[in-house]
Amino acid sequence: MSIGSTETVRNAPPPPSNSGATAPKQAQDFNAAVDRSIISNTNSQQSQGSSTSAPIMLARRPPTPAQTHQQACASPTAQQKARAFVDPALRDVASGKKEIAKGAKGTDVGKMQEALQTAGYKLPKYGADGKFGDETVKALKKFQTDHCLKDTGRLDKQTMEQLSIASTKFPEYGKLFADGKLNTTIGVGFDEGNSHKDQTKEVIEGLSKRGYTELDPNTAATDKAMGDRFKAAGIDPAAAKADGVQYFTKTFKHDGKDVTSVVKLITPDTPQAKDRFAKAMGESEMVIYSGHGRYGSGPDFDPINSAKGNFVIGKPHEAGHVALNKGQTDLQKTTMTKDYQIMLFDGCTTNYYVDDLRRAPGKDSKNLDLVVSTGTLSWSTGTTDVLTMLDGVTEGQSINQIKSDLEDINREPGSKKQLWKTDGFNDN
C-alpha cells in the first residue's frame, strides 16, 4: 500500500514546541500539510477497496490560542499573596465578611477605585470618587474578565485577592540594590523656629536605634573597623572630612543578600548645604527631604527671605512669599543620573514639584519614582516620615504599604483626607 503522504508531513515545518507563541504562517503551513496527509491517505485506502477503516492520523494540529488561555488564568502563588497589599478599608472584603456592589458609597469604594486605577483600569469620568456607579462596574467587570473571574461587577473575596495583587506596586529594588549598596541622602530643611535642630537630633537617634553607625573620618586611619566601614560604603575618609557631611552605614538583607545602606545627612548646619543637596539630587539612589515646601518652589536650607539656601525646583504656586534667584532653576542646572531613583518630599504641598521633576532631562516614570504630599503637614511628624520611608525601602515593602503608613502618621483624628500621592510606580 502506498502511503506517500507520510513524506508530506515529514517534510512539513514541525509543530512549534511553544504553541502559545505559534507564528500564524508556521501554524498555517503545518495544518495544510496535515490536511494533505489525511486526504492522500483516504484516497489511497479507497483505491485499494479492501479497507473501511478510518484515515490514519499521522500528526496532530497545534492547539489554537483559545486552548492556551489557561496559562493567563493561573492561580496566585503563595508569594504573590504574601506580598499583596490590602488597604485597611477593604480587609472585610478580603476576609470574605462582606462584598461591595453597585450603589455603595464610602471609603472602601474609593480604595477599590484607587486599586483599579493602579492596576491599569481607568475611571476617566469620575475617578476614585467613592461612589460605586456604572463606570466602576464596567471597569471591575473588565478586570474580572481579564483575570478569569466571573464578571459579576461586585467586589467579592476572590476578586479582592486578584485586585490586591494587581494593584500592589514596589520600588525598583532590583535596580536600587544591584551593586550591593543603597545610597540615600536625607535632607532636613530650615525652620524659622529652629525646629530643624531638634529634628536633626531625632533623625540621628533614629538611625542609631536602627543599627546605623556614624562614620568618623578622623579615626578611619587608626581604627580598622571604621576604615572597613568607609571602604564598604565606597567613601573616601578625606573627602568626607572635607565636605563636612555626616555619613551613617549599616548592612541589611534583601532576598538573602547583604546590602550596605549608606545614609548622607544634610542639614542647615552642613557647609554649602544647598550645593551638597543639589549633588545628591543628581546622584543619590534615594533622596528624602523633610522641611518646608516653600510654596511648591523646592527644598530650602536657610530662612525664607534668603535665596542662598533654596534648591529651586519650580515656580512657587503663590508669589511674594519666598526669595528666589532669577534665571534657571537649580533643578535645571543639575545633571540628573539616568539610573533609577526614588524620592520623598516631606513638606507642605510638595505635589507641586512633580511636573518640574518630570521635565528634568533624562528622567521619566521608568527611572524616577516620587512620593509627595498633597496638603499641609505638621513639622512634628517629619522625623517619623523620614524613618518610615527609610525603613520601608530597606525592608522591601510595597509603596502601597509605605504610603498607607505615611497617611496614618499624618492624618488628623477623624479625617479621611488623603495627604500623600505616589507617582511613577505603576509601570514598575
Torsion angle of C-alpha atoms 399, 402, 407, 410, degrees rounded to 10: -140
Round the average pLDDT of the chain to a whole number and report it: 88
The pLDDT score that the predictor gives to residue 25 is 55
CA distance 405 to 35: 63
Determine contact, residues 426/118, Cβ cutoff 8 Å.
Answer: yes
The pLDDT score that the predictor gives to residue 373 is 98
Question: Which domains occur in the chain, in start order?
Answer: 5-73 (no CATH), 81-167 (1.10.101.10), 173-427 (no CATH)
CA distance 295 to 33: 72
Closest CA to 270 of 311, 212, 304: 311
pLDDT grade for 414, boundaries at 50, 70 and 90: confident
Determine contact, residues 353/345, Cβ cutoff 8 Å.
Answer: yes
The pLDDT score that the predictor gives to residue 36 is 55
* CA dist list (Å): 374 to 112, 347, 350, 352, 411: 20, 9, 7, 8, 12
Q: Is the pLDDT of residue 199 over 50?
A: yes
Express each pLDDT in 238-251 by its tens digit. Answer: 999 998 999 999 99
Lowest pLDDT segment from 28-37, 124-133, 333-342, 392-401: 28-37
Backbone angles phi, psi at 305, to 5 degrees: -90, 10
- Alpha-carbon torsion (405, 409, 411, 417), positive or negative: negative
Length in residues, the chain: 428
User: What is the average pLDDT across 55-72?
Assistant: 45
The pLDDT score that the predictor gives to residue 64 is 45
Lowest pLDDT segment from 36-50, 114-128, 267-281, 390-404: 36-50
Determine contact, residues 13/25, Cβ cutoff 8 Å.
Answer: no
The pLDDT score that the predictor gives to residue 132 is 98
CA distance 372 to 348: 9
CA distance 314 to 333: 12
Q: Which three cell numbers stand for residue 258?
A: 547583604
Q: If you ran DSSP here, which 8-state letter would residue 130 be given?
A: S
The pLDDT score that the predictor gives to residue 10 is 39
Q: Which three cell numbers stand for residue 260?
A: 550596605
- DSSP H helices, 62-133, are 78-83, 91-94, 107-118
- The C-alpha angle 72, 77, 78, rounded to 5 degrees, equals 170
Calculate what percentage of the chain has a pLDDT beyond 70.
83
Backbone angles phi, psi at 282, to 5 degrees: -80, -20
- Do the bridges between strand 257-266 and strand 246-254 make them parallel or antiparallel, or are there none, so unpaired? antiparallel
pTM: predicted TM-score of the whole model, two decimal places: 0.82
Determine contact, residues 341/369, Cβ cutoff 8 Å.
Answer: yes
Per-state percent for the chain, helix, strand, coil, to nearest 5: 45, 15, 45
Q: What is the DSSP string of 3-43?
A: -THHHHHHTSPPPPS-GGG--HHHHHHHHHHHHHHHHHHHH
